[in-house]
Amino acid sequence: MAYRHPLGFLLGYEGVALLRAWAGEFDATFVEHRLAEVRTMLGAWDRGELGRGDEVGEIGTVAGYRSWSSSYDEPGNPLIAVEEPVVRQIVAELPCGVAIDAACGTGRYTALLADAGYVITGIDTSPDMLAVARHKVPQATFLLADARGLPVPDASLDLVTCGLALTHLPELETVITEFARVLRPGGHLVTSDIHWQSLYLGGIASAVDEDGAEARMPASRFRPSAYVAAAVGAGLEVRACHEPLWPASQYAGGPFLRAWAAGAVDAAYENTPAAIIWHFQKQV
pLDDT by residue, tens only, the chain of 284 residues: 899 999 999 999 999 999 999 999 999 999 999 999 999 999 999 999 999 999 999 999 999 999 888 888 888 889 999 999 999 999 999 999 999 999 999 999 999 999 999 999 999 999 999 999 999 999 999 999 999 999 999 999 999 999 999 999 999 999 999 999 999 999 999 999 999 999 999 999 998 877 888 899 999 999 999 999 999 999 999 999 999 999 999 889 999 999 999 999 999 999 999 999 999 999 99
Whole-angstrom CA distances from 222 to 80, 168, 196, 230, 242 are 19, 10, 6, 11, 15
* 140 close to 107: Cβ distance less than 8 angstroms: yes
Q: DSSP letter string over 10-51?
A: HHHHHHHHHHHHHTTSS-HHHHHHHHHHHHHHHHHHHTT-S-
For residue 70, the model assigns a pLDDT of: 85
CATH code assigned to 76-203+219-252+273-282: 3.40.50.150
Q: How far apart are CA 164 and CA 199, in angstroms?
A: 13
Residue type, 136: K
Is this prediction's pTM over 0.85? yes
Nearest to 248 by CA among 278, 228, 220, 269: 269
C-alpha of 143 from chain center? 22
Q: How far apart are CA 143 and CA 147, in angstroms?
A: 11
* 251 close to 201: Cβ distance less than 8 angstroms: no
For residue 273, the model assigns a pLDDT of: 97
For residue 47, the model assigns a pLDDT of: 97
Task: Give residue limits of the domains in the chain.
Answer: 76-203+219-252+273-282
For residue 6, the model assigns a pLDDT of: 97
Q: How far apart are CA 231 and CA 189, in angstroms?
A: 10
CA neighbours within 13 Å on the CB side: how many for 108?
21
